[in-house]
Amino acid sequence: MSATKGSQPLLQLRGLCCERDGRPLFDGLNLSLEGGAAVQVEGANGAGKTTLLRTLVGSARDYRGEILWCGVPLPSALPQMRDSLLYIGHQAGVRRGLTPLENLAWYGAPEADALAALEQVDLHGFEDSLCQHLSAGQNRRVALARLYLPGSPQLWILDEPLAALDVAGVSSLQGQMACHLSRGGAILFTSHQPVALANLIRVDLAAFAPAEDWEMEACHAQG
């Protein structure tokens, strides 16, 4: 599978394999992602989606295979990649003891930009409320407001960005993702639900699950 359109992909995975607790989650994962394209990583609970994303952003280093940023392998390319990366993980990175405005300021957003972004995610009127007093969906919106700030990095890696969002929130986010792609950005994200985007490659980790003989061997070892 390939999301490559031009000469040099932004991100390439070659034969990627991740294990946890001695159990292979996926193996032989190949992927290319270039500007203007999106990849949706799918898979059952526990398939390894979050593990994959954490591996790609350099939070987990125990993998086999190669990850390349603009043709240069990680980990040496990690600093360059992080300069062009906006990662929103499963926990969303919202500081619950701060307000939405303070959260965006923590990421360096000027107040005018932060206010505009919070308006875009429909948090007008909640800018100065403590995040610990906001709902799950509102906290997800605080995290996603970073996607609406000007000068967004080229590569977005998003773990379950649609989780906890209502219908209007999903629609707004899909629009923002499409806008990012139209500007030449690239997105790799996980989601259990369908996402309407042009130029979307869907990757099901089940296709890269370990061969059954691994499970057979495990059974024999136990028996």
Ligand X SMILES: Nc1ncnc2c1ncn2[C@@H]1O[C@H](COP(=O)(O)OP(=O)(O)OP(=O)(O)O)[C@@H](O)[C@H]1O
Quick one: 32 or 51, whose CB is closer to ligand X?
51
Write the single-letter amino acid at 142.
V
- The set of residues, in sequence order, having a beta carbon less than 8 Å from that of 91 and lying 6+ positions away, is none
Share in percent of the chain as helix, strand, coil (round to 5): 35, 25, 40
Report if residue 76 touches ligand X, rule: CB under 6 A: no
State the minimum distance, in angstroms, from the CB of residue 76 to ligand X.
24
| CA distance linking residue 170 with residue 195, whole number of Å | 9
Quick one: 61 or 96, whose CB is closer to ligand X?
61
Quick one: 54 or 141, whose CB is closer to ligand X?
54
| CA distance linking residue 57 with residue 10, whole number of Å | 13
Retrieve residue 74's tokens. Answer: 């990680």
Report if residue 43 touches ligand X, rule: CB under 6 A: yes
**Residue choice 7, 45, 91, 222 for contact with ligand X (CB under 6 A):** 45
**Residue choice 6, 15, 46, 108 for contact with ligand X (CB under 6 A):** 46
Retrieve residue 103's tokens. Answer: 């959260």
State the minimum distance, in angstroms, from the CB of residue 143 to ligand X.
16
The contact mask relative to ligand X for 9-38 (x = CB under 6 A, - = no) is -----------xx---x-------------
| CA distance linking residue 77 with residue 7, whole number of Å | 18
Q: In the complex, which residues of this chain contact ligand X (CB under 6 A)? A: 20-21, 25, 43, 45-51
